[in-house]
Amino acid sequence: MHKMDKTEVAGFIKQIAKEAGFAFCGIAKAELMQPEAKRLETWLKRGYQGKMQYLENHFDKRIDPTQLVPGAKTVVSLGYNYFPQKDISENQSYKIAKYAYGEDYHRVVKDKLFHLLNRLTEKYGQINGRAFVDSAPVLERDWAQRAGNGWVGKNSLLLNRSMGSFFFLAELIIDLEADVDAPVGDYCGTCTACMDACPTDAITEPYTVDGSKCISYYTIELKENIPVEAKGKMEDWIFGCDICQDVCPWNRFAKPHNEERFKPLSPIQDFTKKEWEEITEEVFRATFKHSPLKRTGYEGLLRNIQMAKEE
């Protein structure tokens, strides 16, 4: 459909991604993901998805980008930094994952992706493409690895040599052809810091996380009571968990973001444990209506606080 210089297209995509504030941008060929499909199938068979049934859905779409965008030729993998100026979890209060300090990343990053799609349309005419930010059946870490943006570490997160892992992944799947990037090597070496630090032993073996034992799963995805075996292991986390990232040596290269919309909301920054314990539903709804915390819901947050409080 689009016959043009693939090198020029790749250069333009990377240029506009940088201008939009993305920390990195890599390009991969849109094709069936066979090795990744086998790995995903094994992971699901082990039940590591827990109650996250949605991960079992749309298997074919997860492994074949042309099922999401007919005629897809290229997957553009992007990273957007969210590493904060200050690690609020060091305060003597309950802890919230760094990605959730400010406005919901789906909103922030999606805006930027639509801007990129508009720029591509302006330059190349009508293209068939879709933008994704952790909201559709896309194997984003695998695409990021294929596109040379890093490697999947032992904690199953994407690691990048120049900035660690505190970034959001996003994708454009488009029917434009572009030069692709080569994958990079694995630089975890013999390090097992993430595995050693996980209080719930969710990293069952290198590169494999049992999602059903992860503190992030307990505090966000799980809608029922947190299993009794997690008691005493929450380490004050009430929404998400950053332990396996905080201990990763590659995160010494993380630099603070400059995204206004990710600035911490004042309760996250200032609340004492007592204030969290006494938060009303009205305050929760008003304060967190554009925050990732909305996902756990008021009752879920109280459940998480209660679990952490009992330690």
User: What residues contact 180, with CB distance under 8 A and at least 6 apart?
Assistant: 10, 27, 28, 29, 74, 147
Element (H or E) spanning 129, and its range? Answer: strand 129-132
pLDDT at 110: 96
Could you tell me if residue 37 is inside a domain?
yes
Could you tell me if residue 280 is inside a domain?
yes
26 CB neighbour count, 10 Å cutoff: 26
Single-letter amino acid, residue 248: C
Q: Return the structure tokens found at 249.
A: 């040596």
Could you tell me if residue 186 is inside a domain?
no
Residue 201 phi, psi dihedral angles, 5° rounding:
55, 40
Asked if 276 and 96 touch (Cβ cutoff 8 Å), the reply is: no
Q: Return the structure tokens found at 299.
A: 């009752």
pLDDT at 170: 97
Q: Which position has the token pair 């294929």?
A: 146
SS3 of the chain: helix, strand, coil, percent, to 5: 45, 15, 45
Asked if 139 and 36 touch (Cβ cutoff 8 Å), the reply is: yes
pLDDT at 1: 45
Q: Which position has the token pair 């539903």?
A: 281
Could you tell me if residue 185 is inside a domain?
no
Euclidean distance between CA atoms 41 and 56, whole angstroms: 9
Single-letter amino acid, residue 189: G
Could you tell me if residue 121 is inside a domain?
yes
Q: Give the DSSP letter of residue 189.
A: T
pTM for this entry: 0.94
Residue 24 phi, psi dihedral angles, 5° rounding:
-155, 160
Domain with 147 in it: 1-180+191-311
pLDDT at 37: 85
87 CB neighbour count, 10 Å cutoff: 13
- Active-site positions? 134
- The total domain count for the chain is 1
Provide the CB-side half-sphere exposure for 124 (13 A, CA). Answer: 24
Could you tell me if residue 243 is inside a domain?
yes
Euclidean distance between CA atoms 246 and 175, whole angstroms: 38
* Helix, coil or strand: residue 128: coil
pLDDT at 61: 87
Could you tell me if residue 161 is inside a domain?
yes
Strands ordered across the beta sheet of 167-174: 24-29, 74-81, 167-174, 129-132
Low-confidence spans in the chain with pLDDT less than 70: 1-3
Euclidean distance between CA atoms 301 and 299, whole angstroms: 5
Q: Which position has the token pair 């032992």?
A: 154
Could you tell me if residue 91 is inside a domain?
yes
Euclidean distance between CA atoms 167 and 24, whole angstroms: 10
